[in-house]
Each structure stands twice: as C-alpha cells, then as structure tokens.
C-alpha cells in the first residue's frame, strides 16, 4: 500500500471538519454567482421602474431643435427624427419590453401547467390526445406560432402578449407532462391515493411541488427567447405601437435610418442583447443550481440537499432520481424468459445507496449498463418505465441526443481502474478532457477543479500529480483517481461496478469509505454492484438480490440476516462471521447458476433450492411484498428461522454439481 493510501482516509475525514467550519463561516454570504444574479435582477427592476419616472415625458416629447443629432456629450446615443434622446427612449422602452415578456412567460407557464398536468393525469384516451397535440405543437418554431397567433389575437401590446404566451404553452406543457408522469408513479403519490386524496387536490399537493422546479427553470431559460419574440413582433409591426414604445418598435424605426443615423437601432439592439444575456444568466444559474449539489470540490449547495434520504422518504418529498420498471435485456437469440435480464426494476432516491448482489452471471452488469443507457454490445434493452433525474429516458432519442443529455450526470466507477484510465495520458488531462468535452467548464476551470477533486479523494500533492500517468499510482490510488473522475461533473448518480474487486483488503475499506463520503457530500445516489455481501451491508441501505436475470429479493441492508428468499439466505450464511463458532461450517450453494439459454421453467433457483416444491417448477414467482421486503418466492423462509435444510444438501435436478462459492 502506498503512503498516500495509508493517509488518505485521514485526510478526507480531517478535511471534513475544516470544510464544515469554513462552510459555517460563509453560510450567510451569497455565492459570487448568486450575488451576480441578484444584482442583475435589481438592475432589471430599476430599469422597469425608474426611467419611466425620470424620462418618461421627455422621451415621448418631440424636440424640434435637436432633430437627428449624432451621439454627443448631451445625447450619448444621439436623437431621433423628432429630436428625442435615443438613450432615454431606450431606457424607457425597457419597462414595456421587460414587463410584457414576464407577463407572456406567466401565461405560458400557467397554461402549460394546466395542459401538461391534464396530459399526465387524465384518462388514457384524453391523455393520448393531449399528449399528441403537445408533441405536434412543440414541433412548430415558437416564433412562427407567435406570428400565427398574433394574427388571431390582433396587433398591439395585449395581442402580442397573448400570442407569445400561448406560443410558449406547448414547451411548458411538455416539461410539466414529463415531470408529472415521474411524480405520479412515485410511492408517495400512491400512498396519498391510498389515503383517498384524488383529483386536483392530489395534483396540487403532491405533484405540483415536484413539477415546479423544472418548470421554473425552463421559464427562466425561455425568458430570453420571449424578449426576442416581443422585439420581433414589434419590429414586424404586430407588437407595441405608438405612442407606447418598446425595443422592438424602436428597432423598427431605427432600421429605416440605419445608414444615416445608426445609433437609433444601436440603442434598442444593445438593450435586447444585454437583457437577454441577463435573463439567460439567471436561467443558467437556476438550472445549474438545481443540478449541482454541494461537492467535494468546495462548492456549496442549499442546506436542504445535505444527505438525508430518510427525511426524504419519511416526508415523501420529491420524485425518485432513478425509476426503472420492467427492464429486459435481450441478447441475440435469447429473448422472453431466457433473456439475460428479465423484468428488472429499481427506484432510487437522491443520496440513497443501494447494493446489487448476485452470483456471477446473474445479470448485474447487463442491468446496470442498461439502467444508464449504455447497452452492452450484442444486447438490446427496453424498459416499461425509465426516468432519470426528471427525464423520461424512453422519450429521448437514443444515440447522441441521449448521451449529451446524460453527460456528466452519471459517474461510472468500474472494477479495474487500470482499464478505466488511459495508460498513456496524464490523469490530469483525462479528468479535464471529460468535463471540457461535456461543455461544462473551461479548460482552466476544469484543471483547478481536477486538483481539488484529487485532493478530496486523498491524492497528496495533487497539483504535481496531474501529469502523472496511471502506472505511476498504486492500485488504490488509481481507483481513487477513477472515483475522482466520476465525480468531476458532480453526478447525481454514481454507479460502481465491483469497485473494490481488484484491490487488497485495507485499500478496499478506504475506497468504500471514499464512496460513502463522496455520496454524503454531494447527495449523489449510489448503485453499488458487488459480490461481497459484507461490502453491501456496510455501505448500502437497501439491497437488491439478483438470480438468473431476475430480482429475487429486495430488502433493507439491516434485514439481510432475516432474508426470506432461500437464495439470499444462502448467500448471507456463506459469509464468514467473526462472532460465529469456529467449528461452524460455512454454507455453500450446490451447483451453479444456469446460463440464460439453459434456464429451467418456473423459479430459476428451484433446482438448487432446499425449499423447492412442485409449484416452483411450474410457475415463475413474482416479486411481492412480504413484511418489510419484497420477495419472489412461493415458499419464503419465515422471518427469523433458518432455511431448515442444509444448502449444501442433495440436488434435485440434473444440472452441474460443481459447488459454486456461496459468495455472490
Ligand atoms: N452480449 C451478450 N450476449 C449474450 N449473452 C450475454 C451477453 N452479455 C452477457 N451475457 C450473459 O448474460 C448473463 C448475465 O451477464 P452479466 O455480465 O450481466 O452477469 P453479472 O451478474 O454481472 O456477472 P459478473 O458478476 O461475473 O460480472 C451471463 O450469463 C452472460 O453470459
């Protein structure tokens, strides 16, 4: 083990306290970016309120003594054909331009919420019609739609506001529909339904709070577009008309004299660009704040994002981060019941750590790569329900669009850090490249971040190690680097596929602690695949047990010793226990899991199961609630009892008799 490895845990833990102190010191200071946005909002507000009060009259009153003057000390942007100061008019026009944009945005948001909510919650036929209509309307460019509607609603401030507002409706409806569908399949909505909450009340109380985040984020992003749409309509003579002024109508006037008095068009053009950038900056900040949580990089997050998934579960707040139902992975020639993965389902909340365990060949790897839309070669995956972080992945076109959408939101930590890192490229370049390619940061920022991440994962002298190649690190350090790489973009989900298999026992512990700390710091969810039940029990709160391509049991990690499925129990009893009597023989499970093509009918585990009975070979048991767990077994072990029959007992089928290690 490397010195770095030996001390890394201490560094990480020690750093925690000093970070906490630093955090408490700066808790009440707004981040520079937030302060910048507040400043922008204040400026916009002043722009809406003050110029009208100060120059409202003079900006509209002709001044025959100063017609068409060029920019000067008295008139910074010159005067127009009636002698009015262009700068004053530009500032006064801001009131209508900004307030009408906000109003149109409000119309778009409210109508989108209603339409999208109906598309998600109405009966199947109505929902299909509304959803289809939204899909068609979204396909139209919003400006074309606004032009079309402006003809219907008429020109002028009112008509153009309604036209632009309703032109935005389909976009907000689409966002609302997607977010509502995610919320509607959540457990807390099911629980509310059980309590008799229905209809609009259910929607307002339990669905709307989940929808409001993405809708508000979209609204801020669309605000820039709305402003430009107003300018375009006024420019075309369909928007604000004399004596009122907005930037679009000023542009309309200015363009006629572009060659004789260019400042006339320059004023409103600059104003549109500056305010559109301001709106988009606000939108971007909201978007990134929503995605980004407090991280090991030292950036901060809202206090409510601090890891506390129990609070989340208890209060039923927020939708799942990841929800998959009916996932099947088919390989060439292996379909239906013989597909490598059949009917896999998983719901994961932000900050939650879930373990996936099962013997080799049970389908763990295929399931997780399909969960994150990285289909293994030669296989195809499809799921009935597949939501991630507010996105319905079934609705996003596979390929580049999907990849771009998921970029940086999922961090993958593989088994072998050597194969995860390019051996001929310095680790700094690899870390920087990923995040720059995702378009999330400039190269310089990414480099600074890489140093902070490496420090956080316990690499000493991180700045100097950026140029080091993977072979210059020990195995444990390489895995730390791989974890650091996965954390670079602040992912919402970390998927770790047997991350400690290639490491020795002491380094394993440090890497697991690092994963725990990283997920706690960032509130990222963790899906951990491991053969080692001890690892899973130590790190995860919930465990999914796979066998023969299916989930056979889902239980709390603390309940593993009371597992009800004979397979899970056999796995648990095969783990050495320091408290158990030394003479106690460890269990082994006879035989080995069948290949997908040779799976028996009925319960796949039946041929190796000491509790199997006639019905087990006739039907496939489905995952059903049994006490606190969900079990797919016709004859589960009653809570607290031992399986009754030795698991290394005689076999019932003609399959292989080579005893497989009972370790998963
Ligand atoms: N491309 C493929 N085509 C056909 N069968 C496949 C393909 N990939 C995997 N399989 C089969 O699917 C089953 C599940 O494989 P998977 O790699 O998901 O298992 P696993 O539980 O992750 O095993 P391990 O723990 O050894 O990684 C295996 O029997 C494997 O042989």
Q: What is the pLDDT of residues 318-364, one digit of tens each?
A: 458 898 999 999 887 666 667 899 989 999 998 899 999 998 888 99
Its pTM stands at: 0.53
Query: Could you tell me if 87 and 267 are in contact, meaning their C-beta atoms sit under 8 angstroms apart?
Result: yes
Give 593-637 pLDDT, tens digit per residue: 888 888 888 899 999 998 889 899 999 999 999 888 999 999 999
Percent of the chain with pLDDT over 90: 17
pLDDT of residue 529: 92
Scan for tokens 């920022």, then name that residue.
445
d(CA 153, CA 156): 9
- CB-ligand 1 contact for 360 (6 Å cutoff): yes
Cα 453 to chain centroid distance, Å, stands at: 20
Residue 258: CA count within 13 A, CB half-sphere = 6
d(CA 360, CA 181): 35
Report the range out of 202-211, 215-224, 587-596, 630-639 with the highest average pLDDT.
630-639
Scan for tokens 């809570």, then name that residue.
639
Q: Tell whether the torsion through CA atoms of 56, 165, 176 and 209 is positive or negative.
A: positive
Count Cβ atoms below 10 Å from residue 76 Cβ, excluding itself: 13
Q: Looking at ligand 1, which residue's alpha carbon is closest to its atom 29?
A: 361
Confidence grade of residue 294 (pLDDT, cut at 50, 70, 90): very low
For residues 112-126, give the mean pLDDT.
88
Instruction: For the sheet with 493-497, list strands across it.
Output: 410-413, 493-497, 525-530, 353-357, 542-547, 550-556, 629-631, 624-626
Omega before 330 cis (within 30°)? no
- CB-ligand 1 contact for 379 (6 Å cutoff): yes
Supply 329's token pair: 């992975």
Find the angle CA(216)-CA(217)-CA(221) to the nearest 5 degrees: 115
pLDDT of residue 279: 78
Lowest-pLDDT choice from 159-173, 277-291, 467-481:
277-291
Confidence grade of residue 316 (pLDDT, cut at 50, 70, 90): very low
Count Cβ atoms below 10 Å from residue 123 Cβ, excluding itself: 8
Largest CA distance in the chain: 109
Confidence grade of residue 314 (pLDDT, cut at 50, 70, 90): very low
DSSP 3: H
Whole-number average pLDDT of the chain? 78
CA of 658 to the centre of ligand 1 (A): 20
CA nearest 555: which of 633, 644, 494, 615? 633
pLDDT of residue 580: 60
CA of 545 to the centre of ligand 1 (A): 15
For residues 41-47, give the mean pLDDT.
83
Lowest-pLDDT choice from 226-240, 263-277, 299-313, 504-518:
299-313
The contacts of residue 546 (CB under 8 Å, 6+ apart) are 344, 356, 357, 358, 362, 363, 364, 367, 552
Residue from 334, 340, 360, 381 to probe ligand 1 pocket by mutation (most atoms less than 8 Å from CB): 340
CA of 367 to the centre of ligand 1 (A): 9
CA of 622 to the centre of ligand 1 (A): 22
Characterize the bridge pairing of strands 341-348 and 493-497.
Answer: unpaired
Count Cβ atoms below 10 Å from residue 364 Cβ, excluding itself: 24
CA of 217 to the centre of ligand 1 (A): 40
Task: Show the DSSP H helices in 122-238 as ranges.
Answer: 124-138, 142-153, 157-184, 187-194, 199-202, 208-235
pLDDT of residue 664: 47
Scan for tokens 């420090």, then name that residue.
455
pLDDT of residue 305: 32
Supply 522's token pair: 């960032």
Confidence grade of residue 289 (pLDDT, cut at 50, 70, 90): low
Residue from 364, 367, 414, 567 to probe ligand 1 pocket by mutation (most atoms less than 8 Å from CB): 364
Percent of the chain with pLDDT over 70: 79
Buried-exposed string 145-171: b where 16+ CB fall within 10 A, e elsewhere: bbbebbeebebebebbbbbbbbbbbbb
Report the range out of 172-181, 251-260, 333-342 with the highest average pLDDT.
172-181
Residue 525 is inside which H or E element, if any? strand 525-530
Report the range out of 135-144, 333-342, 438-447 with the highest average pLDDT.
135-144
The verdict on ipTM greater than 0.85 is yes
- Helix, strand, or coil (residue 411): strand
Residue 382 is inside which H or E element, if any? strand 379-382
CA of 119 to the centre of ligand 1 (A): 39
**Helices (H) then strands (E): counts for the chain:** 22, 13
Look at residue 75 and tell me whether its pLDDT is greater than 60. yes
pLDDT of residue 502: 66
Supply 602's token pair: 């009925």
Lowest-pLDDT choice from 26-30, 241-245, 283-287, 657-661:
657-661
- CB-ligand 1 contact for 361 (6 Å cutoff): yes
Look at residue 272 and tell me whether its pLDDT is greater than 80. yes
For residues 121-146, give the mean pLDDT.
88
- CB-ligand 1 contact for 365 (6 Å cutoff): yes
- CB-ligand 1 contact for 211 (6 Å cutoff): no
Give 566-582 pLDDT, tens digit per residue: 999 988 888 766 566 66
Structure-model confidence comparison of residues 465 and 587, the more confident one? 465
Look at residue 181 and tell me whether its pLDDT is greater than 70. yes
pLDDT of residue 282: 77
Look at residue 249 and tell me whether its pLDDT is greater than 60. yes
């Amino acid at each position: 083990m490397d010195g770095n490895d030996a001390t890394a845990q201490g560094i990480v833990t020690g750093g925690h306290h000093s970070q906490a102190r630093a955090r408490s010191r700066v808790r009440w200071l707004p981040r520079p970016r937030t302060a910048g946005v507040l400043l922008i909002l204040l400026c916009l507000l002043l722009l809406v309120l003050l110029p009208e009060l100060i120059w409202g009259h003079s900006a509209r009153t002709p001044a025959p003594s100063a017609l068409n003057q060029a920019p000067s000390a008295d008139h910074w942007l010159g005067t127009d054909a009636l002698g009015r100061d262009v700068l004053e008019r530009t500032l006064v026009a801001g009131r209508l331009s900004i307030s009408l944009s906000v109003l149109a945005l409000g119309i778009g948001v409210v109508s989108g919420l209603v339409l999208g909510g109906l598309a998600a919650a109405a009966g199947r036929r109505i929902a299909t019609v509304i959803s289809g209509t939204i899909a068609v309307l979204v396909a139209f460019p919003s400006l074309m739609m606004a032009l079309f509607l402006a003809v219907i609603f008429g020109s002028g401030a009112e008509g153009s506001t309604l036209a632009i507002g309703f032109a935005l409706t389909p976009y907000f409806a689409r966002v609302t529909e997607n977010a509502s569908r995610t919320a509607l399949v959540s457990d807390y909505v099911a629980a509310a339904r059980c309590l008799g909450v229905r209809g609009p009340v259910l929607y307002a109380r339990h669905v709307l709070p989940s929808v409001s985040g993405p809708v508000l984020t979209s609204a801020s992003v669309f605000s820039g577009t709305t402003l430009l749409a107003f300018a375009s309509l006024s420019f075309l003579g369909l928007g604000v008309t004399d004596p009122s002024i907005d930037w679009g109508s000023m542009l309309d006037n200015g363009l006629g004299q572009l060659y004789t008095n260019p400042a006339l068009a320059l004023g409103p053009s600059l104003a549109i660009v500056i305010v559109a950038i301001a709106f988009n900056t606000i939108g971007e900040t909201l978007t990134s704040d929503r995605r980004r949580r407090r991280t090991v990089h030292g950036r901060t997050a809202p206090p409510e994002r601090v890891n506390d998934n129990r609070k989340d579960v208890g209060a039923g707040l927020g939708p799942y981060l990841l929800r998959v139902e009916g996932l099947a992975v088919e390989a060439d020639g292996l379909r239906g019941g013989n597909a490598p993965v059949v009917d896999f389902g998983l719901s994961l909340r932000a900050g939650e750590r879930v373990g996936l365990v099962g013997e080799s060949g049970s389908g763990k790897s295929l399931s997780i790569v399909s969960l994150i839309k990285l289909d293994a070669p030669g296989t195809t995956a499809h799921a009935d329900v597949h939501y991630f972080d507010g996105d319905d992945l079934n609705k996003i076109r596979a390929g580049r669009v999907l990849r771009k959408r998921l970029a940086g939101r999922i961090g993958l930590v593989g088994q072998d850090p050597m194969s995860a890192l390019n051996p001929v490229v310095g680790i700094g370049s690899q870390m920087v490249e990923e995040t720059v390619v995702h378009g999330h940061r400039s190269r310089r920022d990414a480099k600074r971040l890489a140093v902070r991440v490496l420090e956080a994962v316990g690499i000493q002298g991180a700045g100097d190690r950026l140029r080091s190649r993977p072979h210059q690190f020990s195995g444990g350090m390489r895995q730390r680097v791989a974890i650091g790489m996965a954390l670079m973009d602040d992912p919402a989900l970390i998927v770790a596929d047997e991350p400690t298999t290639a490491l020795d026992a002491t380094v394993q512990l440090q890497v697991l602690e690092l994963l725990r700390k990283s997920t706690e710091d960032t509130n990222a969810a963790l899906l951990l695949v491991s053969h080692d039940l001890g690892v899973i029990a130590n790190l995860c709160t919930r465990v999914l047990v796979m066998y023969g391509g299916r989930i056979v049991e889902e239980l709390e990690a603390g309940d593993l010793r009371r597992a009800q499925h004979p397979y899970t129990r056999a796995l648990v009893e095969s783990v050495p226990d320091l408290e158990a009597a030394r003479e106690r023989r460890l269990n082994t499970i006879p035989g080995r899991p069948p290949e997908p093509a040779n799976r028996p009918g009925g319960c796949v585990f039946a041929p190796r199961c000491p509790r199997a009975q006639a019905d087990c070979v006739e039907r496939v048991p489905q995952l059903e609630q049994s006490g606190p767990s969900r079990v797919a077994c016709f004859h589960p072990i009653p809570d607290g009892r031992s399986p009754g029959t030795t698991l290394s007992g005689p076999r019932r089928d003609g399959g292989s008799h080579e005893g497989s290690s009972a370790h998963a």
